[in-house]
Structure 1
Amino acid sequence: MPEILRERLPPQTRLEWNDLELILAICRAESLSGAARILGQTHSTIFRRINAVEARTGVRFFDRFPHGYVMTDAGRAAMATAERVENEVLALGREVLGQDERLRGRIRVTCPEAFAEEHAPGIVARFCRDHPEIQIDLVPGHGAVDLNRREAEVAIRATRAAPDTAFGRRICEFRFALYASEGYLATAGDLPLQAHSYCLIEGTLGWLVPHIWKTKEAGEPQVVFQCRASRAVQNAGAEGLGITFLPCYVGDADDRLLRVSDPIAALDLDLWVLTHRDLTNTARVRALMTHLYGELSARAYLFGGDMKPPTTVNFLKRGA
């Protein structure tokens, strides 16, 4: 902890790292419930802790309002110090890990949810057979994790551009298309594209503007099923609930779904394997990334949408 926080202060008023970490979490979340999620604690625990810190130091770090917690000047000063300390601790951790030349230890890998379920187990198993002293923790999800904050050491990420602080390799195109079940197509009739029912991954409605609807508001009534879990959306489409919008490697591999459009070129991303630049000298990270480059490159046709051609019902081509 910086000496400035210790000098000339009686022990009961000193801010320790646990206090700063708590203040930083509340500053970032602007609420106790959000800070509880960040720190993995309960709302009541966070409430007791911040009250205790303020009572012990005699400093009010937050103004309490019905809409949330707002930093005071003292809160902003504490947040600035906490961020500096956090960055130094994280940089030290990356530096120490980056000097590790042993092919053993644990690696935290983040990747898309469907990839984690379908492809990652086999890829990881083959890697671990060759490197039995390395353990893999897999973190599925659509949100981008922060490699700077060591939320993961390796990221398999679909994006248009890799972060400046990241090191890695572009594997191939990562494309999306529209899919529907044969049963849905048989009963939906000859509707224009924007009038169909849709099953969407939460947060992707805006992606389909203006390709299907002119505005998000126009599309909202047509979305009959939404879920954060891509597998749930895939299964809803396969059950005939409506047209679904999926990465090609997911939709093309599902025999229950027909592709009803070409890949939507304007939404194309690139598939990358990334790590933080400070970790490029870590032996186990290098070994895993090399393995992933080979495994994913062999599947480039899946991610690029070259596995399943559209059916004769190609909504985007016919301009419905």
Structure 2
Amino acid sequence: MTSRPQDPTSTARALEWNDLALILAICRAESLSGAARFLGQTHSTVFRRINAIEEKTGVRFFDRFRHGYVMTDAGRTAMEYGERIESEFHALGLEVLGRDEKLRGRIRVTCPEAFAEEHAPGIISRFCGEHPEIKIDLAPGHGAVDLNRREAEVAIRATKSPPDNCYGRKICDFRFALFASPAYLEDRSDLPLSHHSFCIIDGTIPWLVPQVWKTAEIGEQQTVFQCRASRAVQNAAAAGMGVCFLPCYVGDADDRLVRVSDTFPHLDMEFWVLTHPDLRHTARVRAFMAHLYEELAVLADLFSGATKTWSPTDGTILS
């Protein structure tokens, strides 16, 4: 059965920006589940919407395979147009926001999860106490954030190199170490480091090869607890499950843990406060970033791992 040829103008009229945004999300994620997470919708909702879009336009934007969704030629064309429209839309928003010279409005901020839980509330509270007409939306996470697409106005990030298209300031160095509870370390001082049980943040096992394990496979075997949430890993180690790998500002501040290694120079990062260049003159963004510079400078030693030291004579040697 052959389908009736579509009038190009009617197809264009049928596509709305919300449709194109959905197609764009699937193109980028290459799966419905990834697009659903990005859009904040359920998998079934995204499934129904893309099927409805293809039905009403008469165009197949994706080929479905077991491993995911693959763009057709039409899908690639839709992605190209969608990215151009999205770029123009966000550029308009940046220009409008850049004209705002009043200390009021909303600021979206992204930062690491543990920082959001431990440090951000106090920092934000003190800022909003001085500027009560400014509201803060906080998004914890370690993933990359696109300031160009207005996913956030301000980003607090640990990175080896901040994006070239961002504006901001380096606060200090950012370092990592190994930690464990005193209870876990009892009777284990002679155990080789690679033979210890480990509590690990998802995705960081390769970071410790070959400094801790010869291969990532050995790391997987020695890992008894893994979680995307750094706070869960921290609590598991504090409960005595094993050695954990954490940023110094998390492990050194926890009285339930002791540092059992020096920092790892090959993993050294920098702690930055960033925004889009077009927003740096926006009054509320400028004021909030100045506040962050001042508050975070006080915590510089904590983030750089300088508040505590470790040496083999501490009695918590892992070799």
Band of TM-score, shorter chain: over 0.9
Q: Distance in 2 between matches of 1:45 and 1:215?
A: 41
1:152 corresponding residue in structure 2: 152
1:104 corresponding residue in structure 2: 104
Q: Distance in 2 between matches of 1:180 and 1:41?
A: 39
SS of the residue 1:102 aligns to: coil
1:3 corresponding residue in structure 2: none
Q: 1:49 to 1:190 in 2, by over 3 A?
A: same
AA of the residue aligned to 1:288: F
Q: 1:45 to 1:104 in 2, by over 3 A?
A: same
Q: Distance in 2 between matches of 1:33 and 1:257?
A: 37
* Deviation of the 1:43 alpha carbon: 2.6
- Count of equivalent residues: 311
Q: In 2, are the aligned partners of 1:175 and 1:303 still within 8 Å (CA)?
A: yes
Identity %: 70
SS of the residue 2:274 aligns to: strand
Q: Distance in 2 between matches of 1:121 and 1:93?
A: 27
Give the root-mean-square deviation of aligned CA atoms: 1.8
1:244 corresponding residue in structure 2: 244
Q: Distance in 2 between matches of 1:170 and 1:25?
A: 32
* Deviation of the 1:13 alpha carbon: 5.2
2:146 pairs with 1:143? no
* Deviation of the 1:106 alpha carbon: 0.6
1:101-141, Cα deviation, whole Å (9 max, x unpaired): 11000111111111111111111111111111001111111
SS of the residue 1:171 aligns to: strand
Q: Distance in 1 between matches of 2:169 and 2:235?
A: 32
* Deviation of the 1:12 alpha carbon: 8.0
* Deviation of the 1:165 alpha carbon: 1.0
1:210-246, Cα deviation, whole Å (9 max, x unpaired): 1111211121111111111111111111111111111
TM-score by length of 2: 0.93
Q: In 2, are the aligned partners of 1:13 and 1:56 still within 8 Å (CA)?
A: no
Q: 1:285 to 1:189 in 2, by over 3 A?
A: same
AA of the residue aligned to 1:179: F
Q: In 2, are the aligned partners of 1:174 and 1:269 still within 8 Å (CA)?
A: yes
1:4 corresponding residue in structure 2: none
Which segments of 5 or more consecutive residues in structure 2 lack a partner in the other structure?
Answer: 1-6
1:142-178, Cα deviation, whole Å (9 max, x unpaired): 2122211111111110111110111000011111111
Q: In 2, are the aligned partners of 1:261 and 1:313 still within 8 Å (CA)?
A: no
Q: Distance in 1 between matches of 2:48 and 2:181?
A: 53
* Deviation of the 1:81 alpha carbon: 0.6
Q: 1:237 to 1:154 in 2, by over 3 A?
A: same
Q: In 2, are the aligned partners of 1:202 and 1:228 still within 8 Å (CA)?
A: yes
Q: 1:11 to 1:210 in 2, by over 3 A?
A: closer
2:283 pairs with 1:283? yes
1:51 corresponding residue in structure 2: 51
2:211 pairs with 1:199? no
Q: Distance in 2 between matches of 1:181 and 1:161?
A: 33
Q: Distance in 2 between matches of 1:244 and 1:45?
A: 38
SS of the residue 1:291 aligns to: helix
* Deviation of the 1:187 alpha carbon: 3.1
AA of the residue aligned to 1:162: P
* Deviation of the 1:189 alpha carbon: 4.2
* Deviation of the 1:97 alpha carbon: 0.8
Equivalent residue runs for 1:188-227 within 5 Å: 188-227=188-227
2:175 pairs with 1:175? yes
2:292 corresponding residue in structure 1: 292
AA of the residue aligned to 2:235: N
Question: Which moves more between the two structures, 176-185 or 22-31?
Answer: 22-31
2:28 corresponding residue in structure 1: 28
Question: Which moves more between the two structures, 232-241 or 288-297?
Answer: 232-241
1:259 corresponding residue in structure 2: 259
Q: 1:91 to 1:12 in 2, by over 3 A?
A: closer
AA of the residue aligned to 1:300: A
Which segments of 5 or more consecutive residues in structure 1 lack a partner in the other structure?
Answer: 1-6
1:15 corresponding residue in structure 2: 15
* Deviation of the 1:260 alpha carbon: 1.1
SS of the residue 2:149 aligns to: coil
* Deviation of the 1:297 alpha carbon: 0.5
* Deviation of the 1:11 alpha carbon: 7.0
Q: In 2, are the aligned partners of 1:262 and 1:314 still within 8 Å (CA)?
A: no
* Deviation of the 1:34 alpha carbon: 2.4
